Chain A
Amino acid sequence: GQQLNQSPQSMFIQEGEDVSMNCTSSSIFNTWLWYKQDPGEGPVLLIALYKAGELTSNGRLTAQFGITRKDSFLNISASIPSDVGIYFCAGGRRNEKLTFGTGTRLTIIP
């Protein structure tokens, strides 16, 4: 099935650095979601976006719903060790299944 283009595919950063990742699509979505998945666990919802242009924060995380409705980004400020994991974006439309991004693997270098 279709997948969203998510970049970067992986990131290696030092603790305390800021992180930025994004997701792009060739078609529009009504909802953008960001999930984090730890090894051996299911994805956990971080932020849900419902309106074009919406900017939403959850602690050190900030995500925006692109104005064209075809993209979204997630920023993490002042990264800490527990931020390690795989981040997935997902685009949604009413009465349709979610379309997932390919994931961004975040690694923090000691």
Chain B
Amino acid sequence: GAVVSQHPSWVICKSGTSVKIECRSLDFQATTMFWYRQFPKQSLMLMATSNEGSKATYEQGVEKDKFLINHASLTLSTLTVTSAHPEDSSFYICSALRGGPSSNQPQHFGDGTRLSIL
């Protein structure tokens, strides 16, 4: 159990393009999902917390107009990188939390999306 699917796994696109990444919990409902960014040889950096049916909570320094998050259902959250530029190139990983933010359940991660902006 606890399978999280992330799509696409790899994106290469031109500067100025907007890119949408999907995160799905396949076998459980997730009222809370998380979006992380990871630079080479570094740990995961939380970008935002995605809450089903409400606005996402962004970490300090993360531009909410740049990284649009939508959590329209209990099994799907999307991250849209708007007008992407080369500095947005990174590895983006989502995770889903079974049972909501007050549960003691661990986060389960997707396989990540490698975004390369030319």
Query: Bound pair: A and B?
Result: yes
- Chain A stretch 87-110: residues in CB contact (< 8 A) with chain B: 88, 90, 92, 94-95, 97-98, 100-103, 105
A-chain residues with CB within 8 Å of residue B114 when the two chains form the complex = 40
Q: Known contacts A42-B109, A42-B111; decide if A103 and B102 are in contact (CB<8 Å).
A: no
* Assembled-state Cα–Cα distance A98/B101 (Å): 11
User: Does B67 sit within 8 A of A, measured CB to CB?
Assistant: no
Q: What chain B residues lie within 8 Å of A48 (beta carbons)? A: 106
Residue of A42, A94, A97 most packed against chain B (CB within 10 A): A42
Q: Contact at B104–A31, with CB atoms within 8 Å?
A: yes
Known A1-B59, A30-B104; contact A42-B110, beta-carbon cutoff 8 A: yes
How many A-B contacts are there with CB distance less than 8 Å?
Answer: 58
Nearest A-chain residue to B10, judged by Cβ: A40
Inside 8 A of A80's CB, which chain B residues have their CB?
Answer: none
Interface size on B, residues (CB 8 A): 27
Residues of A close to B91: CB separation below 8 A: 40
Q: Does B20 lie at the interface of the complex (its beta carbon under 8 Å from any beta carbon of A)?
A: no
Q: Is A41 touching B104 in the complex (CB atoms < 8 A)?
A: no
Decide if B112 touches A42 in the complex (CB within 8 Å): yes
Contact B59 A92 (CB under 8 A): no
Residues of B within 8 A of A (CB): 2, 4, 6, 34, 41-46, 49, 59, 91, 93, 95, 101-104, 106-112, 114
